[in-house]
Structure 1
Amino acid sequence: MRILVTGATGKVGGAVVRAALAAGHEVRVLVRGHPGSGALPVAGLDVVVGDVTDPATLPAAVEGVEVVFNAMGVPEQWLADPGRFDQVNVAGSARLARAAAAAGVRRLVHTSTIDVFDAPPGGRFDETSLASRPKGTPYERSKQRAEQAVFAAAGELEVVVVNPATVYGLGPYGPASMELRMFRPALRGLLPVVPPGGFGLVFTEGLGRGQLAAAGLGRPGARYILSDIHLSLRALTAAVVSVGGRGRAPAVTLPAALAELLATGGEAAARLTRRPPPLARGQLHYLRWNAVPDASRARAELGWEPTPLEDGLRHTLAALPRS
């Protein structure tokens, strides 16, 4: 199968590329600049330089491919310019869907998020729990609108949506990544406190395999939650220390009111420095939602299997930069 992957230099797109190459597919990637050393396994890839925000670059990217994996996006929960969420996540996804439909692409697998669903705090949800109202943060709302925009722009193009939980695993690791901001400090005994709440997690390599399964077996118009496990942030960092065999698990979970105060103050400072806050209010909102994603549909319809947490952490810690 000949495929196109957007966002291939990111964590999700890179996982799709690795899974597709391992399965023997012909892989084209759309990247904003030719990938440098280590960003992608360039050997065996057809590289097209372009951007979903530049419509002129998309026809060459989608020409002759059967399936498009839209794995690009702005994943941060805070931006100095929140309009960037819609420029990339919404408008970029719509442009890609229109270009793919015009080129006769058979199917588009769109990477969304579990943030588009609704449940009470600490409740359980599945794909039938799609939120009917705009969610609480600019990131969440952009991902809701991105799904709507893709379906509206697709025409005869088959669309399957993958809704991952919080993604961890193999890099790239940006300065704000959970692996660098939490895993590595925990292994060094330098993470005495963590925010309250928790989330669902999915390992990159399992997510990549799930994306391929969605391309082959997913029902047009369907959504598929991919989540290995749900756990608190404190339990996650304790597991990191246990699997890593060193460090110290956080001794304290921040009270919710104090975490909210820190997040609000951090964002006020970030507006002046134009640098991301240590804990954005959007991140805290998501953590305190603490709802449990149900991946039963993906297991039943796609044959997808979650990655055991210990296995995923072992691979992650082996790849984590030491410096």
Structure 2
Amino acid sequence: MTNILVLGAHGKIAQLATAMMVQHHDLHLTLFLRNAQRLADQASDQVKVVEGDAGQPADLKAAMTGIDVVYANLAGSNIEDQAKNVVAAMDAAGVKRLIWISTLGIYDEVPGKYGEWNHQQLDGGYLETYAAAAKVIEASDLETTVIRPAWLSNHDEINYETTQKGEPFKGTEVSRKSIADLVTKLVLDPSQAIHESLGVNKPNTDGDKPAWY
């Protein structure tokens, strides 16, 4: 049995990933979110729902007991502080494996017109704070995978490719379901992609901006 802690479990990607992970009966999930009532119907022998705030170190520390893999699907203007809290709680509990959802552009790795458009959309707080949070994660002594999705769609498809840190970002979009699939694959084989930062996009979607803009 592998024990998975899902932080920010009410997020759209997290809910899709949870639906995939519960199909694997050797996984036990702890869903961590600010309002546990939102996911109360998910509770089962395989799924525990706990209320907590990643901005509160004590909440995270309490949730880490017996956990093997942490999947963090967090957001907010205090994302850097949340990252610090997650690292500290994992260190205190001796938990090593972390899958961290970030965003494209944190290394200024998005080329051309799309890169310029991405800056226009995300500069002014969002990109900077997510970049700072990713630095906290990468500077830790944890076994981390940072995931940098392209602009997200709700398409019912799993179709993606990845790029590594230091490579130009490819494509403009990716489905949330694709990101959930990647998370699930990493949870099922946590030895994959350790100390990697993966850009994730749908193949053949290069352009100046996502198709729906």
2:132 to 135, 139, 145: 145
Higher helix share: 1
Give yes or no for contact 1:26–1:45 (8 Å, CA) kept in 2. Answer: yes
Amino acid at match of 1:115: G
Residues 96-115 of structure 1: pairs in structure 2 closer than 5 A: 96-115=86-105
Give yes or no for contact 2:72–2:100 (8 Å, CA) kept in 1. Answer: yes
1:47 to 23, 46, 49: 49
Are the structure 2 counterparts of residues 203 and 40 from structure 1 closer, same or farther at C-alpha, using a change threshold of 3 Å?
Answer: farther
Residue 99 of structure 1 aligns to a residue whose secondary structure is: helix
Please state how far the C-alpha of 1:136 moved relative to its aligned partner. Answer: 3.5
Residues 185-200 of structure 1: pairs in structure 2 closer than 5 A: 200=172
Residue 194 of structure 2 aligns to a residue whose secondary structure is: coil
Aligned-partner Cα distance in 2 for 1:104–1:235: 41
Aligned-partner Cα distance in 2 for 1:158–1:149: 13
Higher strand share: 2
1:161 to 130, 139, 146: 146
Are the structure 2 counterparts of residues 222 and 201 from structure 1 closer, same or farther at C-alpha, using a change threshold of 3 Å?
Answer: same
Are the structure 2 counterparts of residues 40 and 105 from structure 1 closer, same or farther at C-alpha, using a change threshold of 3 Å?
Answer: farther
User: Quick check: which has more Rg, 1 or 2?
Assistant: 1
TM-score (norm 1): 0.52
Are the structure 2 counterparts of residues 95 and 231 from structure 1 closer, same or farther at C-alpha, using a change threshold of 3 Å?
Answer: same
TM-score (norm 2): 0.76
Aligned-partner Cα distance in 1 for 2:92–2:197: 23
Give yes or no for contact 2:114–2:208 (8 Å, CA) kept in 1. Answer: no
Two-structure CA RMSD over aligned residues (Å): 2.8
Amino acid at match of 1:163: R
Are the structure 2 counterparts of residues 120 and 204 from structure 1 closer, same or farther at C-alpha, using a change threshold of 3 Å?
Answer: closer
Are the structure 2 counterparts of residues 227 and 66 from structure 1 closer, same or farther at C-alpha, using a change threshold of 3 Å?
Answer: same
Give yes or no for contact 1:91–1:146 (8 Å, CA) kept in 2. Answer: yes
Amino acid at match of 1:207: I
Amino acid at match of 1:104: G
Q: Which residue of 1 aligns with 2:113?
A: 122
Segments of structure 1 that go 5 or more residues without pairing to the other structure are 75-84, 125-134, 171-198, 238-286, 288-323
Instruction: Encode CA deviations 1:111-132: one digit per residue, 9 max, x unaligned.
Output: 11112132442379xxxxxxxx
2:30 to 23, 28, 31: 28
Aligned-partner Cα distance in 1 for 2:69–2:110: 32
Give yes or no for contact 2:9–2:15 (8 Å, CA) kept in 1. Answer: yes
Residue 37 of structure 2 aligns to a residue whose secondary structure is: coil
Amino acid at match of 2:50: V
Residue 211 of structure 2 aligns to a residue whose secondary structure is: helix
- Identical positions, percent: 22
1:212 to 179, 184, 199: 184
Give yes or no for contact 1:164–1:207 (8 Å, CA) kept in 2. Answer: yes
Residues 172-251 of structure 1: pairs in structure 2 closer than 5 A: 200-215=172-187, 216=189, 217-229=191-203, 230=205, 236-237=211-212
Segments of structure 2 that go 5 or more residues without pairing to the other structure are 116-121, 156-170
Are the structure 2 counterparts of residues 121 and 235 from structure 1 closer, same or farther at C-alpha, using a change threshold of 3 Å?
Answer: closer
Amino acid at match of 2:54: V
Instruction: Encode CA deviations 1:241-278: one digit per residue, 9 max, x unaligned.
Output: xxxxxxxxxxxxxxxxxxxxxxxxxxxxxxxxxxxxxx
Residues 276-315 of structure 1: pairs in structure 2 closer than 5 A: none
Aligned-partner Cα distance in 2 for 1:35–1:9: 10
Give yes or no for contact 2:114–2:207 (8 Å, CA) kept in 1. Answer: no
Give yes or no for contact 1:108–1:160 (8 Å, CA) kept in 2. Answer: yes
Amino acid at match of 1:51: D
Please state how far the C-alpha of 1:231 moved relative to its aligned partner. Answer: 5.5
Instruction: Encode CA deviations 1:179-235: one digit per residue, 9 max, x unaligned.
Output: xxxxxxxxxxxxxxxxxxxx7222222211101223424332111122114256998
Are the structure 2 counterparts of residues 138 and 123 from structure 1 closer, same or farther at C-alpha, using a change threshold of 3 Å?
Answer: closer
Aligned-partner Cα distance in 2 for 1:219–1:115: 19
